[in-house]
Copies of this chain bind each other. A is one copy, B any other.
Amino acid sequence: MNTSLKTLQIEKELPVSGVAVRNKVLRDLLAEPNVRDYLLPQLRLVTVSPNQVIYELGDKIDLIYFPVDSVFSGLAIMEDGTTVETSMFGREGLVGMSTILGSGLSKQWIWISISGYALQLDTRVLDQVFVQNERALKSLLKCYRGLVTQISQRCVCNTRHTILERLCCWLLMIHDRVDGNNLRLTQEMIASRLGARRAGITVAAGMLQERQAIEYRRGQLHIRSREVLEHAACECYKIMRTQFTPLDLTTQLSQCK
């Protein structure tokens, strides 16, 4: 079901400095020259893969992650083993934020939803940065507020909206965080994130295929039309998109290279 390999492969072929600016918070942090000099040598580029476990509930958070083109999911796992995603993290933020609030322990599971690159950092390095740099702290706190907005809206969305609406919303959120239109996602994975049955996702995805919004073939989901998805999504997407500024949404990979 999931892989627990916590020692991630470290990539050395790409220059960290070039990749780092593709994460929004990290770009903000690195804008400060003295922060940049301190932080940059400490960042490690790693690759993460689907359903890999990053933190378990109660884990000590020694390492934090800045996703680049990968997506991390904050999951609650219930007594019967079913899961619900309460938040997702991509290039707009960082994973392990609760350390900013002074808690060293993870209150949720973090699993990977979309594979890709992320930049890894020792927690104590980040601690140094934000206690010494006011502006860095502000960037991080803003991220945290965005997280709370996201969780709250997910709460609303899961309570009141249909699986189809939630699926559209979720796909758009993923799409905002990755490069390109092809997503490696099985229906089983999507179901575990939305807190629904796999069969329910099959039906909803079928509707979206009929409407030419997506194409789906064995774990390969291709987004054909964001417009159709946005039209079929609930109001929640507009609210959760505010974690990105309009600028971020247009600045995709092509411009960051």
* Residues of chain A whose beta carbon lies under 8 Å from any beta carbon of chain B: 74, 76, 78-79, 82, 84, 86-87, 98, 101-103, 107-108, 138, 141-142, 144-145, 147-149, 151-156, 158-160, 195, 235
Contact = CB atoms under 8 A, between A and B. Distances in A.
B76 A153 contact: yes
Chain A contact residues: helix, strand, loop or mixed: helix
A159 B156 contact: no
A184 to B, nearest CB: 24
29 contacts: A74-B152, A76-B152, A76-B153, A76-B156, A78-B160, A78-B235, A82-B160, A84-B159, A86-B152, A86-B155, A101-B141, A101-B144, A101-B145, A102-B138, A102-B141, A107-B148, A107-B149, A107-B152, A108-B152, A148-B148, A148-B151, A151-B152, A151-B155, A156-B195, A158-B158, A158-B159, A159-B159, A159-B195, A160-B195
A49 B50 CA distance: 49
A128 B159 CA distance: 38
B160 A79 contact: no
Contacts of A151: 148, 151-152, 155
Contact of A154 (B103, B138, B149, B155): B155
Nearest 6 pairs between A and B by C-beta? A155-B155, A158-B159, A159-B195, A86-B152, A76-B156, A101-B141
